[in-house]
Amino acid sequence: MIKGKFIDNLPKIYGIYTGGFLVFIILMSIAEQAGMSKELIGIFFVSFTVLIYALIGWLSRTLQSDAYYVAGRQVPTVFNGMATAADWMSGASFVAMAGGIYFKGYGYMALLVGWTGGYVLVAALLAPYLRKFGCYTVPDFIGTRYGGNLARFCAVLVLTLASFTYVTAQINATGRIASVALDIPFNIAVYVGLASILMCSMLGGMRAVTWTQVAQYIVLIIAYLLPVFWISSNIGAGFFPHFMLADEVARIAELEGQFGFVKNSAADMATVPKGLAQITKAHSEVNATPWAFISLAICMMAGTASLPHVMMRYFTTPSVRTARRSVGWSLFFIFLLYSSAPMLATLSKISLMDPNLATGIIGKSIAEVQALDWYQNWNQAKLMFVSDFNGNGTLELNEFFMKGDAVVLATPEIAGLPYVISGLVAAGGMAAAMSTADGLVLAISNALSHDIYYKIINPKAETAKRLIVARILLVLIGFAGATIAALEINDILGSVIWAFDFAMSGLFFPLVLGVWWKRANAAGAVAGMLLGLGSGTAYLVWVKWYAGEGFLGITTNTFGLVGASVSLVAMIVVSLITEAPDSATQKMVDDVRVPSGKTILGKQ
Amino acid sequence: MSKQEQHWEKTRGLLFITLAIWFVFSIGIFLFGAEMQESSIKPFGYPLTYWFTCQGSLAIFVILIFWFAGRQEKIDDEFGFTEREGDQ
């Protein structure tokens, strides 16, 4: 397939792909009717989609550095938007977000606002300028703008720490989904997940990741939206849930008042499997202080604008103008899923809680619930649990326990949808986790191979050698991530939030001021990165492991506020007491601010 | 003032407007989360704060970025700084 021709035919190719996928879903549902087992359906869904991604990865193989690092800078606006959306929406967004909303309500919604609002910062402050710069990686920008290997090295350090925190969570998620869908032990499933991730990225780098991410976006958005719309019509809530669930939200509030939030005793809770929770917070009430909400939103927004795996997607567009528009498309595609997550949480809750619905279990007898087919399945998977604490034989709201992930994974089954939908959801979760993991692993290995190996260690290396090094690093980082993921240290979302705080601590101001403040110099940037990252990390360690009290209500989820503040002050003070950047650097910043003309690095 | 300085001044002006709108819908309104929730304004019947966290703010960000991109393109055009074929 000729490259130019491929780009021209994108809508057609992905149109056929989407149609093919829909036909596949229909075939599977026919197979289900004909008696195909649940296990087999799950295996078909996950392995079929993963094989398609691997095929795209293989077709996109390349030996050119431009294609490997920035997909030849020819990804059209809308497709880059889809790829970014898949890159962005991780296993956490897909599997855990609706669950978070389900259990934590308003306080958790700060993440939705933060993870979307951050794109305004990306569009206005950074993406078009970094595109004009013409860099391969984010540290490439830092290193060239500020000059010197030290600044470059510090940027790689922050990038690696933030992205690595994030990637272990993603590999963990691929492993968990693969283990459920393929019915294999988790510590083997992690490496199956890793192998799928590497198949998509190793041969073609950014080019392969781009075209697999578009394919993954299509799978994950169908997998997320289809059940939401289906359940909504099924329970008679309306055919377009986003605009029609107000009655259900009000009904949940009414039922919450009726059932009450009974607190279980510690002795009772000790019998509940770890990680499972009951509903303790009102669905739609404002249950967090303004500062708790806003501080978390700020961290997620600044973190979004500093995470290199997102930023580097905008290096692949043909121009500055398309980079800017592409940010808008990215957020549009993200919005489709994010605005559906609260709807899914609402539908899931009403299905379980409302005694008027056939699916409602609260108020039924414990024995009846325990006999339910889906309950037995998810109980076995350690995602659900019931226990008759008060001994009245009836299931109360405080006697039903679920893991957050179950909201997405189990709701289709609870709401009585055919199993084929559950298989689809597993494939969607796999796509979401894989696409993000690919972006992250590539961001790290590209930074190490381009910025550390090529720019610092061996500037004379030939392209072929550089690309071999890049691929070896890719595999090594993947394995390191999988090894840590197999240890299951943190739950999926915990480490995802930390990644944003790390990135924000070290990179936000060095990136933004690099474009918006000419006076910023290398010494300032190095101080900003190191002191920002150092202070943020110190605060996290202090509060998390040394039982520190913290200050200003800053928690282990918002420690980026400490890091970024220190980073800003350090960067300004150190820049001002050291020499201003030379005239060549100032000229470079001027050129970055204008869309026309050659890219900065293209000139050198 | 050179053409480039004027261009940058306008770009900066647009940035401040964009960030102001962004600030209102990502931070500003959530200072009054509890008050807004009680409001009688109910988009699609949802409580107001709940609606903003589910859809409102998110949709406004999408529109804001496209609006910002359009305005910035106009500024670039005005000063003749729009990219041409073969600029890369």
Quote the ipTM score: 0.95
The 8-class DSSP code of residue A394 comes to B
Q: Please answer yes or no on whether A596 and B82 come within 8 Å at the CB atom.
A: yes
Cβ neighbours of A598 in B, within 8 Å: 87-88
Cβ neighbours of A120 in B, within 8 Å: 18-19, 22, 26, 61, 64-65, 68
Q: Which helix (H) or strand (E) holds A478?
A: helix A463-487
pLDDT of residue A505: 94
Residue of A nearest to B47 (CA): A284
- Option in B19, B50, B66 nearest A249 (CB): B50
Asked if residues A217 and A85 have their Cβ atoms less than 8 Å apart, the reply is yes
- Option in B8, B53, B73 nearest A109 (CB): B53
| Backbone torsion region of residue A382, taken as left when φ is above 0, otherwise alpha when ψ lies between -120 and 50, otherwise beta | left
Q: How far apart are CA A278 and CA A282, in angstroms?
A: 12
pLDDT of residue A306: 92
pTM beyond cutoff 0.90? yes
How near does any CA of chain A get to the CA of B74, in Å? Answer: 11
Q: How far apart are CA A225 and CA A237, in angstroms?
A: 15
Q: Token digits for B72?
A: 């910035």
Assess if residue A272 is contained within a domain: no
List the one residue out of A328, A262, A296 whose CA is nearest residue A122: A328
Q: How far apart are CA A371 and CA A457, in angstroms?
A: 64
Assess if residue A487 is contained within a domain: yes
The 8-class DSSP code of residue A265 comes to P
| Cα angle value A292/A293/A297 (rounded, 5°) | 115
Number of structural domains chain A divides into: 1
Q: How far apart are CA A591 and CA A125, in angstroms?
A: 15
* Chain A residues 106-125 with CB within 8 Å of chain B: 106, 109-110, 112-114, 116-117, 119-121, 123-125
DSSP strand E in A298-435: where? 384-386, 400-402
What rounded mean pLDDT belongs to chain B? 89
Q: Please answer yes or no on whether B33 and A128 come within 8 Å at the CB atom.
A: no
Assess if residue A273 is contained within a domain: no
Q: How far apart are CA A67 and CA A73, in angstroms?
A: 8
DSSP labels, A395-413:
--GGGEEE-TTHHHHHHHH
Question: Which of B41, B60, B81, B87 should one mutate to test binding to chain A, selecting the residue with the greatest count of A CBs within 10 A?
Answer: B87
- Option in B8, B37, B65 nearest A123 (CB): B65
pLDDT of residue A239: 87
pLDDT of residue A492: 52
List the one residue out of A325, A61, A8, A102 whose CA is nearest residue A212: A61
Residue of A nearest to B8 (CA): A593
Assess if residue A228 is contained within a domain: yes
pLDDT band at B41 (very low <50, low <70, confident <90, very high): confident
List the one residue out of A114, A141, A50 whose CA is nearest residue A601: A141
Is residue A338 less than 8 Å (CB to CB) from chain B?
A: yes
- Option in A297, A319, A339 nearest B83 (CB): A319
Q: How far apart are CA B82 and CA B73, in angstroms?
A: 7
A506: CB partners within 8 A, 6+ apart: A154, A157, A158, A161, A162, A306, A528, A529, A530, A532, A533, A536, A563, A567
Angle between helices A419-446 and A205-234 (to 10 degrees): 150
Asked if residues A317 and A131 have their Cβ atoms less than 8 Å apart, the reply is yes
Q: Token digits for A404?
A: 């957050």
- The low-confidence residues of chain A, meaning pLDDT below 50, are 1-2, 604
Residue type, B62: V
Q: Please answer yes or no on whether A328 and B69 come within 8 Å at the CB atom.
A: yes
Q: Please answer yes or no on whether B55 and A242 come within 8 Å at the CB atom.
A: yes
How far from A173 is each of A179, A280, A348, A432, A543, CA to CA, in Å? 10, 26, 21, 9, 27
Is residue A243 less than 8 Å (CB to CB) from chain B?
A: yes
Q: How far apart are CA A33 and CA A346, in angstroms?
A: 29
Q: How far apart are CA A42 and CA A24, in angstroms?
A: 13
List the one residue out of B81, B74, B77, B72 whose CA is nearest residue A328: B72
Asked if residues A21 and A218 have their Cβ atoms less than 8 Å apart, the reply is yes
A466: CB partners within 8 A, 6+ apart: A65, A449, A450, A453, A454
Domain assignment of residue A307, given as a range = 41-256+278-347+417-494
- Option in A119, A245, A320 nearest B61 (CB): A119
How near does any CA of chain A get to the CA of B24, in Å? Answer: 11
Q: List the CATH number of the domain containing A244.
A: 1.20.1730.10
List the one residue out of A121, A118, A165, A443 whose CA is nearest residue A312: A443
pLDDT of residue A450: 86
Q: Please answer yes or no on whether B58 and A339 come within 8 Å at the CB atom.
A: yes
List of long-range contacts for A107-110, beta carbons under 8 Å, 24+ apart:
A107/A281, A107/A287, A107/A288, A107/A292, A107/A293, A107/A296, A109/A293, A109/A342, A109/B53, A109/B54, A110/A288, A110/A292, A110/A293, A110/A294, A110/A296, A110/A297, A110/A300, A110/B30, A110/B53
List the one residue out of A101, A99, A92, A114 whose CA is nearest residue A560: A114
Over residues B66-73, mean pLDDT: 94
Q: Token digits for A109?
A: 């919604």
How near does any CA of chain B get to the CA of A122, in Å? Answer: 10
| Backbone torsion region of residue A521, taken as left when φ is above 0, otherwise alpha when ψ lies between -120 and 50, otherwise beta | beta
A162: CB partners within 8 A, 6+ apart: A306, A307, A308, A499, A500, A502, A503, A506, A507
Q: Which residues pair with A400 in a beta bridge?
A: A386
How far from A45 is each of A42, A344, A589, B76, CA to CA, in Å? 5, 22, 49, 48
